[in-house]
Chains A and B, each alone.
Chain A
Amino acid sequence: MGLEMQHGGKTHATLATEAIAEEEGRYVYCVADAGEKMSLGKIGIAGHEVHTIPHKDICAVVHDCLAQPYQSDDQEVIKTWAMTHQKVVETAWERWGTVLPLSFDTIIRGEAEKSAEQNVKDWLGQKYQELKRRIDKVSGKTEYGVQIFWNPKAIAQNLAQTSPKIKSLEEEIKTKPKGLAYMYRQRLENLVKHEMESKADEYVTIFYNRIRKQVDDIRVEKAKKAENDLQMILNLTCLVYKDKYIELGEALDRINQMEGFSVRFTGPWPPYGFV
């Protein structure tokens, strides 16, 4: 696949012959709630063997690599890496129940007097309390993504029928001569814009509060570009107790059924947003 070449231009074969501590690293996928030392097989990025480095009752899930970041200009290559990263995290998640996923491309390196493996162990040791606290926080819970969209055209049309301000301005326009009407149209446009902004605020607050009740923790993410003439008005990452996602789904149903609104509900995800 040529993916090996992306890794600093060195291949796995040269990795073995250049086993100098400073040049080796451990790519860390996640920290798992288990003190086991074992191999998960060749499921890692570029087919690397994934194994665990334990400390007490937790372990880091890693593969052996060079002390160089994975980087590429090729989107497809990055996508493949990211998907593999997620696959490994998911495998560990299924196996051990609770994991703290790490961000892509986290590599712990070796030093002249200390191997990369030892550095991972020491890191687990130094951060043990903090890692355990984070594990406790996400234990028994799952992450879900909730994105709420509205159709601006449908909402604007609806506003035109319901907003007294817009209605009266429209009535006024009808009575104006053509030249003046143009100016009034501009005024109307601004008014619609303004009313839509306050509508968005209003709905966002209502939706947020409804969803907040169904989840253990919640993060408001940046709204993303949407397709099909829709606008994303709320982008949430939710941490949910195992079976509570059903109630969350019901709350989302009510929003999804509202005219002009739609909801995307994704998951379950390992708790990337709550570590």
Chain B
Amino acid sequence: MEPTPNSHATLVDLLDRVLDKGLVIQADIIISLAGVPLIGVNLRAALAGMETMLEYGVMKDWDERTRSWENEQRKKKVEPICTTQIAR
């Protein structure tokens, strides 16, 4: 499988990175936006996460669970558990 290069097909991925990730400088020489930034308010809504897709009622907490599980793994610094083969 070849990765899709950064293009229009990946605009959401791009915005996700540029607006929500990247190095954040914590210093008083940084201009900051007070309170909720005007920037991308709607955009963030458009990029909304899991909450909006719970109509099915399926998988309510697994996302949170997965992430906290990963955090635990990270703390323990253990090698990943052996994988099992999935029957197709």
> Interface on chain A toward B: helix, strand, loop, or mixed SS?
mixed
Q: How many residues of A contact B (CB 8 A)?
A: 78
Question: B19-30 CB contact bits vs A (8 Å, 1 = yes)?
Answer: 111111101011
Contact between B14 and A106 (Cβ–Cβ < 8 Å)?
no
Q: In this assembly, does B75 line the interface, its C-beta being within 8 Å of a C-beta of chain A?
A: no
With a cutoff of 8 Å between Cβ atoms, the chain B residues found around residue A197 in the complex are 58-60, 62
Q: How far is the CA of A166 from the CA of B83 in the complex (A)?
A: 26
Question: A74-108 CB contact bits vs B (8 Å, 1 = yes)?
Answer: 01001100110110001000000000111111111
Partner of A109, one of B11, B31, B70: B31
Contact between A103 and B19 (Cβ–Cβ < 8 Å)?
yes
Partner of B1, one of A83, A102, A152, A252: A252
Interface set, chain B 1-34, CB cutoff 8 A to A: 1-6, 10-15, 17-25, 27, 29-33
Partner of B62, one of A25, A204, A250: A204
Known: A71-B39, A232-B50. 13 other contacts (CB 8 A): A73-B42, A79-B15, A104-B22, A107-B30, A108-B30, A111-B29, A145-B10, A193-B56, A200-B58, A252-B1, A263-B1, A266-B6, A266-B13
